[in-house]
Amino acid sequence: MGSLLANLLFSLSEALEKDERVLSCREKEKSLEKDEEAKKLSLEVQAKSSIYEENRNHFGVNSPEAEESLHQLYLAKKKLDELPSSLEYTSSFIKMRDLYDQIDALLFGDFRSLVCKRKS
């Protein structure tokens, strides 16, 4: 039983490595990592996030300083998310995640149903 399961899992792993959604996502991820504008904007998002965290901790969550720095963080993240390379990566990631969700449902759906029934 153990070796059969191991063989089946290995086959699944191999099939996933060759799946067009997984390959596309990896390709788009590499393109995003090479995008100089994305790197620049990513650093900007990290900096704005640090400023927001500092303002939130120092002045409080609802302070004008925290709210303004949160808005600046939002704008920086929006700029990053709207880059063509980022949009392409996100689209391919969603397709890959949907594939993994389908596999998860097939493998564990019945188990989850049993667990949920026991809890209610």
Of all residues in the chain, what percent carry a pLDDT higher than 70?
94
Mapping DSSP to helix (H, G, I), strand (E, B) and coil, where does residue 105 land? helix
Mapping DSSP to helix (H, G, I), strand (E, B) and coil, where does residue 74 land? helix
Distances (CA, A) of 77 to 29, 31, 41, 51, 65: 17, 18, 8, 14, 18
Mean predicted lDDT score pLDDT of the chain: 94
Taking only the tens place, the pLDDT of each residue in 8-37 is 999 999 999 999 999 999 999 999 999 999
Q: Which CATH class is domain 21-119?
A: mainly alpha
The band of 107, judged by pLDDT with boundaries at 50, 70 and 90, is confident
The band of 92, judged by pLDDT with boundaries at 50, 70 and 90, is very high
